[in-house]
Structure 1
Amino acid sequence: MSHRQILQALTGLLAALFTAMLSTTIVANALPTIMADLHGTQTDFAWVVTAALLANAVSTPIWGKLADLFSKKLLVQLSIIVFVIGSVIAGLADNMTVLLSARVVQGLGMGGLTALTQAVIGSIIPPRERGRYSGYMGAVMAVATAGGPLLGGFIVDSPLGWRWTFFLCVPLAVVALFLLQVTLRLPHTRRKVSIDWLGSILLTAGVSLLLIWVSFAGKAGYYEWMSWQTAAMVGGAVVLLALLVLVESKVREPIIPLKIIRERTTALSIVASVTVGIAMFGSTTFLGQYFQIARGFSPTEAGLLMLPMIAGNLAGSVGSGQLISRFGKWKRFLIAGTIMVIAGAGLAGTMDHETDMLLVSLYIFVLGLGMGLLMQNLVLAVQNTVRVSEVGSASASIAFFRTVGGAVGVSVLGAVMSSSVSSRAADGLRAANIPVSDGGAGDSLDIGGMPPAIQGIFRAAYGDATATIFQIAAVISVVALIAVLLIKEQVLRRTLDITPAPMPQANPDLTGSSETLSAAAGTGTAPDGGTASDTGTAPGGDAATRPRSTAGAARGGTGTH
């Protein structure tokens, strides 16, 4: 495919990705208002994000497996429809239960878009050229991430109200559906379907149990960290996840293919993705809360204050994508990105409710730049090591573990935030000789409904507690740096698929099977046993030869691992 054909094919896909990303970021600055309107707590705040991330995570491997079995185009369209249904329900929610349920539906749709976007790109673009287009995707994500908080803040401050932060995504999704129908053309060969439903259930139950345990442990009215409830939940989660590994090693079509995960680059990329997911989702989720509650800015102003992080993300993703496509080297960008994430989170860990806003902008710019260098390039490194027929599962595995890391991060850091705010607010109230209720303090997000004297105490508590979130994120990101340093760099291949080893010459007098003849034709084996062309495998497993000069193939190497 020419550059123009690829861009045309990606138009609808990027529009769908933009809609899904926008739905996440547009809500960020609306959450404090939503919590106040629906009488939500700090735990509810975290779970509005966690519910969508968890549904996204557990559905991503399923979508990825379906992408290896069914039409990717049809699946993308289906995921958009699911997402639209969730958006409408969320916009109509009148209590936290309905809103959380709608966020789960939205997350299922976002899981499809997360997995399928990477799978389609991996199916039509060779890894050496993929950095260029991953940069475009990173740019779309950055624009959505930048525009979301701004647009969300403007909507919340306007007569439309927070419900339109959900409704607005519906027409955008319809436009994306139309563009996909017109622009995306992918060949597909039907294969026998085998979905690992047992693995999906075990995965969902195990991860959910851990997140529920973290969210409510140590809270008044629930249970202590050291209690029989903790033992039951953690023990149950360990058993469920152990059974998951056993099931995945036995089934024919596992949702998390262990043979791919066991590959060194993929395994280390997964470790890095989990820790980066914790730092990215866990820390940035609470930035809007910091700007609005701790510093007293409006939702629109909070969106503007997020721009330095978005600018860093955009520069990192687009710039690294162009350089990787030019030189074929990617590890240096992963190392630099991880160091910047650690530095940015560490600097943000020094913030309090009085930190100069210029310093805050600098800190989050460094954090955003590091994330831009990391996110897409971790996926690219993995895609370079697998066959095109496995791109869907491999891409989904990375996206899955990153999103699980994000869900765990939001849940864990949300629990830390709630506990820290409660403790700091209680200390502040006692210092001001204001009675503290038996249930503690700090679980309410309706700061505007408090008396002015108490408002100041709670704003200071939220501002000072935010630093703890970033400090934890910085420490966790050190694990990502170790994983990235251990990854063995392989120059990105120019071929769409891993070129198979030359096949023995067939005797022309013998009649080979159609399968053998098809394979021989697809590899383009020359009389001397060499490969005369780069080989690509279409999404459904079809052999698709892309004529190219032998010199061109030599420059990129065979891509054999």
Structure 2
Amino acid sequence: MAQSETTTDTPPASTGTSVPMTHPQIMKALSGLMLGMFVAILSSTIVSNALPQIISDLGGTQSSYTWVVTAALLSMTAATPLWGKLSDLFSKKLLVQISLVIYVLGSVVAGMSQNTGTLIACRVVQGIGVGGLSALAQIVMAAMISPRERGRYSGYLGAVFAVATVGGPLLGGVITDTEWLGWRWCFYVGVPFAIIALIVLQRTLHLPVVRRDVKVDWLGAFLISGAVSLLLIWVTQAGDSYAWISWQTWAMTGGALVLGLLFILVESRASDPIIPLRLFRNKTISLASAASLFVGIAMFSGTVFFSQFFQLARGESPTMSGILTIPMIAGLFVSSTLSGQVITKTGRWKAWLVSGGVLLTAGLGLLGTLRHDTPYWHIAIYMAVTGLGLGMMMQNLVLATQNQVAPEDLGAASSVVTFFRSLGGAVGVSALGAVMANRVTHYVQEGLAALGPKAAALGHGGTAGGGIPDLDKLPAPFREVIESAYGHGVGDVFLYAAPFALLGLVLVVFIKEVALKSKPAAHAPAAVSDEAAPAESAVKA
């Protein structure tokens, strides 16, 4: 294969010399990247408070509600390792820009959807783009900034995450409540931000690119995507479309297992695997990846099910639903920013991971006590504790992993942690969504039975099959039953999520703290391998 040409007008700090980038240089380079991250997170959160209205307008069910979220998480999960591998081979800036274009295309068509099937398909496309943005943001940062300094800038990314997370539901709620806009603008509104990010990235982000004579592991990407897809389809449909113990269960779980084993076989023999299995020989990477899986379950369960709690259990508008979640986002904002600053000054990060695990477990456990009439100040405290825990764990698990790998594995290792976090979110939303539908139907039946024989004859009160009720059209006694059912059902979801957070805490306790490196990956010497490295040439991104 022809080797790439070298071009130079990249700033000295980013060409692999020993001259570190200054803070203004780094912030300028990160400006477009952070805007891209803002777009990615915004797309994930802006629909959360609009979903009850969207699903109602499109005639969907609780299963559709779950799949609008899960579809994006699934494609993001499956695409993340591929983006990470591509970043080791091609221009990181170009890949970020391609991710933004994919996101824009998915968003525009999603806004035109006339049924839930089309919307879910568009969310898959959005997820592919968002997966690239999420994975590449961490990879680009690691290429420019040393692990010791990276805590500071990870805190900035965490702040962007928090602003987009709180701004998304608020903006989505306002858009949905504004009659002349409507929920379709929840998908359109991110497009101008993405276009601006494309322009800013082109002007500000300049990184060296190492191109090697290797092949992308497309078979590995297909197998891992198939295994995850089968697993999620099974978790979502089991107990509704078919019994948990049924031939469909055996077929899907067996198929997922076979595809997973084939993936491991292919990866063990691939010359350049999409997920290098040798990375898992490193104890820190293995533990951080597993912990990220459980953090993902906790993180996405909070953002997805709070909107249903405030709108269907407490009768709030989409706009108020977003406002009422601010304590959780405030906690995340404060802890991610503060932990990043302190880690940069001290070089110590494990205490933040352990403290985050404790707070996350406690917060979810407290949220497990939710009912439709729980005083809001109680809920606010529980959300703040959960947000503090999430902020301490999310970015720092990636930081701990990046600190352990050679420069040539940076993209793959970073994407592995992001992959497991997204996988946890996808599996968590699917499984907990199925639990939610089941528990709500159960509590509705109990509530109607308590009203008397005539009410009990209604059976499920319109929630069977995951139907989303319109509270405004229900008589007062029935409305109270539905609100109580959703309040109790969401509480059960958080209660089931708490043990997973506890598992994440146990895992981070066993991660060994290693001193943070003082040089960024782009400046570090390449690790020595057993085989001769392919010919390489650096080009400007």
Instruction: With the length of structure 2 as denominator, give the TM-score of the two structures.
Output: 0.91
Per-residue deviation, 1:448: 3.2
Are positions 1:481 and 2:518 aligned together?
no
Letter in 2 for 1:106: Q
Partner residue of 1:57? 77
Partner residue of 1:559? none
Are positions 1:147 and 2:167 aligned together?
yes
Pick one of 158, 163, 183 that aligns with 1:138.
Answer: 158
> Is the alpha carbon distance of 1:377 and 1:502 closer, same or farther for their aligned partners in structure 2, counting shifts above 3 Å?
closer
- Where do 1:120-269 residues align within 5 Å? 120-159=140-179, 160-219=181-240, 222-269=241-288
Letter in 1 for 2:77: A
Pick one of 112, 134, 139 that aligns with 1:114.
Answer: 134
Decide whether the 8 Å contact of 1:151 with 1:300 is kept in 2.
yes
Deviations 1:238-270 (A, max 9, x none): 111011111111101111111112211000001
> Is the alpha carbon distance of 1:158 and 1:441 closer, same or farther for their aligned partners in structure 2, counting shifts above 3 Å?
closer
The 2-side partners of 1:272 and 1:291 are apart by 29
The 2-side partners of 1:245 and 1:440 are apart by 45
Letter in 2 for 1:316: S
Greater relative contact order (Cα 8 A, min sep 6): structure 1 or 2? 2
- Where do 1:403-552 residues align within 5 Å? 403-432=422-451, 433=453, 434=455, 435-437=457-459, 441-442=463-464, 443-448=466-471, 450-452=473-475, 453-497=477-521
Decide whether the 8 Å contact of 1:215 with 1:415 is kept in 2.
yes
Pick one of 7, 13, 22 that aligns with 1:2.
Answer: 22
Partner residue of 2:63? 43
Deviations 1:10-44 (A, max 9, x none): 01010111011111111111011101111111111
The 2-side partners of 1:399 and 1:541 are apart by 28
> Is the alpha carbon distance of 1:348 and 1:386 closer, same or farther for their aligned partners in structure 2, counting shifts above 3 Å?
same
Per-residue deviation, 1:69: 0.4
- Give the secondary structure class of the aligned counterpart of 1:354: coil
> Is the alpha carbon distance of 1:203 and 1:370 closer, same or farther for their aligned partners in structure 2, counting shifts above 3 Å?
same
Per-residue deviation, 1:147: 0.8
Letter in 2 for 1:10: L
> Is the alpha carbon distance of 1:439 and 1:354 closer, same or farther for their aligned partners in structure 2, counting shifts above 3 Å?
closer
The 1-side partners of 2:176 and 2:527 are apart by 62
Decide whether the 8 Å contact of 2:208 with 2:539 is kept in 1.
no
Per-residue deviation, 1:155: 0.7
Partner residue of 2:344? 325
Decide whether the 8 Å contact of 2:448 with 2:478 is kept in 1.
yes
Pick one of 119, 124, 136 that aligns with 1:99.
Answer: 119
Partner residue of 2:308? 289
Decide whether the 8 Å contact of 1:205 with 1:237 is kept in 2.
yes
- Where do 1:364-403 residues align within 5 Å? 364-403=383-422
Per-residue deviation, 1:440: 7.8
Larger Rg: 1
The 2-side partners of 1:543 and 1:333 are apart by 38
Instruction: With the length of structure 1 as denominator, give the TM-score of the two structures.
Output: 0.88
The 1-side partners of 2:471 and 2:276 are apart by 50
Partner residue of 2:101? 81
Deviations 1:505-542 (A, max 9, x none): xxxxxxxxxx99xx9xxxxxxxxxxxxxxxxxxxx775
The 2-side partners of 1:80 and 1:207 are apart by 24
Alpha-carbon RMSD across the aligned residues, in angstroms, is 2.0
Letter in 2 for 1:397: V
> Is the alpha carbon distance of 1:384 and 1:347 closer, same or farther for their aligned partners in structure 2, counting shifts above 3 Å?
same
Letter in 1 for 2:342: L
Partner residue of 2:44? 24
Per-residue deviation, 1:478: 1.1
- The worse-fitting range, judged by mean Cα deviation, of 363-372 and 250-259 is 250-259
The 2-side partners of 1:122 and 1:289 are apart by 37
Letter in 1 for 2:506: I
Decide whether the 8 Å contact of 1:138 with 1:318 is kept in 2.
yes
> Is the alpha carbon distance of 1:47 and 1:501 closer, same or farther for their aligned partners in structure 2, counting shifts above 3 Å?
closer
Per-residue deviation, 1:482: 0.9
- Give the secondary structure class of the aligned counterpart of 2:359: helix
Per-residue deviation, 1:191: 1.9
Pick one of 372, 381, 406 that aligns with 1:353.
Answer: 372
- The worse-fitting range, judged by mean Cα deviation, of 448-457 and 401-410 is 448-457
Partner residue of 2:15? none
- The worse-fitting range, judged by mean Cα deviation, of 46-55 and 278-287 is 278-287
The 2-side partners of 1:195 and 1:403 are apart by 21
- Give the secondary structure class of the aligned counterpart of 2:111: helix
Specify every segment of 5 or more residues in structure 1 that has no aligned partner in the other structure, as ranges: 504-514, 520-539, 545-561
Deviations 1:453-487 (A, max 9, x none): 32221111001111111111111111101110000
Per-residue deviation, 1:488: 0.5
Deviations 1:490-514 (A, max 9, x none): 01010224966999xxxxxxxxxxx
Count of residues in Structure 1 that have an aligned counterpart in Structure 2:
509
The 1-side partners of 2:199 and 2:72 are apart by 25
Decide whether the 8 Å contact of 1:82 with 1:108 is kept in 2.
yes
The 1-side partners of 2:462 and 2:182 are apart by 31
> Is the alpha carbon distance of 1:499 and 1:105 closer, same or farther for their aligned partners in structure 2, counting shifts above 3 Å?
closer
The 1-side partners of 2:210 and 2:197 are apart by 25
Percent of aligned positions that are identical: 51
Decide whether the 8 Å contact of 1:447 with 1:455 is kept in 2.
no
The 2-side partners of 1:192 and 1:27 are apart by 42
Decide whether the 8 Å contact of 1:333 with 1:373 is kept in 2.
yes
Per-residue deviation, 1:437: 4.7
> Is the alpha carbon distance of 1:541 and 1:263 closer, same or farther for their aligned partners in structure 2, counting shifts above 3 Å?
farther
Partner residue of 1:550? none
Deviations 1:282-333 (A, max 9, x none): 2331001100110011111111101000100001100000000000000000
Partner residue of 1:537? none
Letter in 2 for 1:484: V
> Is the alpha carbon distance of 1:541 and 1:331 closer, same or farther for their aligned partners in structure 2, counting shifts above 3 Å?
farther
The 2-side partners of 1:178 and 1:209 are apart by 38
Deviations 1:209-239 (A, max 9, x none): 11111111111xx211111111111111111
The 1-side partners of 2:524 and 2:474 are apart by 69
Deviations 1:142-185 (A, max 9, x none): 11011111111111111211000100001110000010011111
- The worse-fitting range, judged by mean Cα deviation, of 196-205 and 331-340 is 196-205
- Give the secondary structure class of the aligned counterpart of 1:28: coil
